[in-house]
Chain A
Amino acid sequence: MRGRYGLALTVGGTLVALVLAAALLSLLWTPYDPVRVDAAHRLAGPGGAHLLGTDQFGRDVASRLMTGARTTVFVGVVAVGSAVLLGVPTGIAAGMSRGVLGGLLMRVGDFLLAFPALLLAIMLAAVYGTSTGTAMVAIGIASAPGFARVSRAATLRVMAAEYVDAARLARRGRWSVALRHVLPNIRDVLIVQTSVAFATAVLAEAALSYLGLGTPPPTPSWGRMLLDSQELLFSRPELCLWPGLAVAAAVLGLNLFGDGLRDRFDPTLEGVR
């Protein structure tokens, strides 16, 4: 069975690496300027001078896809990063204290779970206008309870272990236990959760940009490209295909990668799930 799990990791890792590579490469080089309007070459077909053709403004689709990857990765990294910073300490604190504080923190987390990222982002957009920043904040806040929940559950398991009792008997402080024993032992769970949260963030970012609530034009984003190409569904359907494939490939890659890691870390889960 090991081979199949290796497959999930390989395929997932490859897809993720491709998106990352496109994003990084776009910082240095894209075939064309992704935002340059070129009226003379509107809706050029794929092949020829433009690998994937041009959109209704004559902008190069391949270049926009690469820059869109950068937007996706940027939003994902900042949003998931802030979710980790918010959620993990909260979860560990809740798991270690177990008292009123722990219960209260988890209550707040449960309540936040009722606020989906999308609603949060829509509220933020109503107040502060649409920007990449509001999208990142909303996705970050909405993903934090997931991290809190997962790290609390994992922390509870670690706290029951004998080595934690030993550390306590050795008069180690709370911080020392948290940093030296809890954090290293819940690392695997957190890595898997990060992969899952990243996939959710990519989906949320695409949906927000599609609704016109994420990254504002002219900066390319996959969701926005989908919105723009939807008008051309009757004449140039393949323009929807590229950004659609990009979103699906990124999410599929992250999900597979997360699954692969989970199986690698926890062989007892084999076959179940």
Chain B
Amino acid sequence: MRFFLRKIAGLLVSAVVASFVVFAFLAVLPGDPAEVALGTNATPDAVAALRHEFGTDRPLVVQYLDWGRGLLHGDFGTSYVTHDLIGPRITDRLGVTCWLAAGGMLVAVLLALPAGVLAAAWHRRAAGTVLSALSQAGIAVPAFLAGILLVYVFAVRAGALPAGGYTPLADDPGEWARHLVLPCLSLGLVQGAVLTRYVRSAVLTVLHQDFLRTARAKGRRRRAALWRHGLPNAAVPVLTVLGLQLSTLLVGAVVVERVFVVPGLGDLLLQGVADRDLLLVQGVVLVLVVAVLVVNVLTDLLYHLADPRLRSR
């Protein structure tokens, strides 16, 4: 229990530090949002007035505390560029990105578990080497490139799936799924290739452990011993990698959204960069970083639950 509390406290501290870093990073920069918004021909009076309206004429500490207080209520502030609330825009997009990351994870796990276990079980055979080589090649392909290739095969040549766009789940579940297949595949195939290597090495390590030999000596078949004793033990290191991968997937979704024109957080973030909408960028980056932090802590906790040897500590 103390372990859990300590982890949660650590998460809170990290989240506060993250908000500070993100704020400081974008606040200390040269350039004034009011000047940017009004262009180069603005009169000093107009700039001062807008600065006052934005609140950027106040001391930085006050600005940070104000922004931070808003965040606690889910208020990300009002955009300097579009003049609407940032919070709802983020929550609108967050769901899309989460679907993408979750779908990508599903594909990766469905691919990597069998492939990794087989690659380990067959590691002395040609088939195992082929699987290893395939995963090695898969790692070298960036997700957005996989996306472009998948669009070519399934949208351009086969015409079976849409090349891009998005339909909300509530509007039409069938279309929603059809639009998510290719983005999730492009995220998942690449992550799956990475994960395969970790699964393979985890299973290989377990294969050489004494308890597996004991199980075989007791008369269990190789396959049964692997299922009963090997895989649960191999699961622990794999779980950690899985958590790390989920954060990679969240960030990878930013790029894949661009390939498939999916209106997620990444799309919003890039729009913010193009408009130099710093408050929007600040908000989205913070959401993504906190998501990564939360996933990391959850992984730690899961890791702890999965491995009884760690619980006594």
Contact = CB atoms under 8 A, between A and B. Distances in A.
Contact of B145 (A114, A118, A226, A271): A226
Contacts of A248: 137, 140-142, 145
B270 A122 contact: yes
A272 B140 contact: no
Interface string B249-261: 0010011001100
Contacts of B197: 273
B229 to A, nearest CB: 18
Interface string A207-248: 100111100000000000010001001100100100010011
B292 A207 contact: no
Contacts of A164: none
A230 B149 CA distance: 10
Given A119-B289, A126-B272, A272 B205 contact: yes
A273 B201 contact: yes
B209 to A, nearest CB: 12
A43 B207 CA distance: 54
Interface stretch (A31-39, A87-95, A251-259): A251-259
Interface stretch (B17-25, B54-62, B173-181): B17-25
Nearest to A112: B21
A125 B14 CA distance: 24
Interface in B186-235: 197, 201, 204-205
A127 B258 contact: no
A125 B273 contact: yes
Given A118-B255, A122-B269, A127 B29 contact: yes
A256 B136 contact: yes
Contacts of A237: 152, 156
Task: Give the one of A122, A226, A248, A249 with max B CB within 10 A.
Answer: A122
B139 A251 contact: yes
B28 to A, nearest CB: 9
B37 to A, nearest CB: 14
Contacts of B17: 111
B148 A244 contact: yes
A91 B197 CA distance: 27
Contact of B255 (A199, A210, A252, A256): A210
A251 B148 CA distance: 18
Contacts, number: 115
Interface string B108-152: 000000000000000100000000000011011110110011011
B292 A210 contact: no
B296 interface: yes
Interface string A84-115: 00000000000000000000000000010011
A119 B17 CA distance: 16
A128 interface: yes
Interface string B64-82: 0000000000000000000
Contact of B148 (A122, A128, A226, A255): A226
Contact of A122 (B247, B248, B273): B273
Interface residues of A, number: 37
A167 interface: no
Contact of B140 (A114, A255, A271): A255
Contacts of B102: none
Nearest to A250: B140
A127 B142 contact: no
Given A123-B25, A237-B156, A210 B258 contact: yes
B285 interface: yes
A203 B149 CA distance: 16
Contacts of A127: 25-26, 29, 31, 278
A226 B276 CA distance: 25
A213 B296 contact: no
Contacts of B289: 114-115, 119
B142 A252 contact: no
Contacts of B31: 127
B136 A128 contact: no
A125 B270 CA distance: 10
Contacts of A119: 251, 254, 285, 288-289
A123 B141 contact: no
Contacts of A154: none
17 contacts: A114-B18, A114-B289, A122-B281, A123-B25, A123-B281, A127-B26, A206-B142, A207-B255, A211-B270, A230-B259, A233-B152, A237-B152, A244-B149, A247-B141, A252-B136, A272-B201, A273-B204
Given A240-B152, A248-B137, 11 more contacts: A119-B251, A122-B270, A125-B273, A128-B29, A210-B255, A211-B258, A233-B156, A237-B156, A252-B139, A271-B204, A273-B197
Interface of B: 14, 17-18, 21-22, 25-26, 29, 31, 123, 136-137, 139-142, 144-145, 148-149, 151-152, 156, 163, 197, 201, 204-205, 247-248, 251, 254-255, 258-259, 269-270, 272-273, 276, 278, 281, 285, 288-289, 292-293, 296
In the A-B complex, the 6 residue pairs with the closest CB atoms: A252-B140, A251-B140, A127-B29, A126-B281, A126-B273, A248-B140
